[in-house]
């Protein structure tokens, strides 16, 4: 299936969970995830299924000074 990830087309296996996507992207640290303009709580990452055509935004927090 195809989704829009941070503005770019991205292919995923059918029935993919948000948790699986995050593991595939090898994300570390703090980040927020929005699917179709809805922020997804971390407690739902394992159960949240991604659908064909979803618009996913992942924003990582970067420290600095």
CATH at 30: 3.10.20.30
> Which pTM was predicted?
0.89
Asked if residue 42 belongs to a domain, the reply is yes
Q: Which of 41, 7, 59 is nearest to 18 (CA)?
A: 41
Asked if residue 26 belongs to a domain, the reply is yes
Residue 62: CA count within 13 A, CB half-sphere: 3
Asked if residue 65 belongs to a domain, the reply is no
Residue 65: its pLDDT value, please? 62
Number of domains in the chain: 1
Residue 1: its pLDDT value, please? 96
Residue 29: its pLDDT value, please? 84
Distance of CA 60 to the CA centre of its chain: 11
**Burial annotation 14-42 (CB, 10 A radius, 16+ → b, else e):** eebbbebbbeeeeeeeeeebebeeeeeee
The range of the structural domain enclosing residue 37 comes to 2-60
Residue 55: its pLDDT value, please? 99
pLDDT beneath 70: ranges in the chain? 65
Residue 62: its pLDDT value, please? 79
């Amino acid at each position: 299936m195809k989704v829009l990830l941070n503005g770019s087309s991205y292919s995923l296996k059918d029935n993919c969970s948000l948790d699986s996507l995050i593991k595939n992207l090898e994300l570390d640290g703090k980040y927020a995830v929005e699917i179709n303009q809805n922020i997804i709580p971390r407690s739902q990452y394992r159960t949240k299924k991604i659908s064909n055509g979803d618009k996913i935004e992942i924003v990582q927090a970067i420290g600095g000074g």
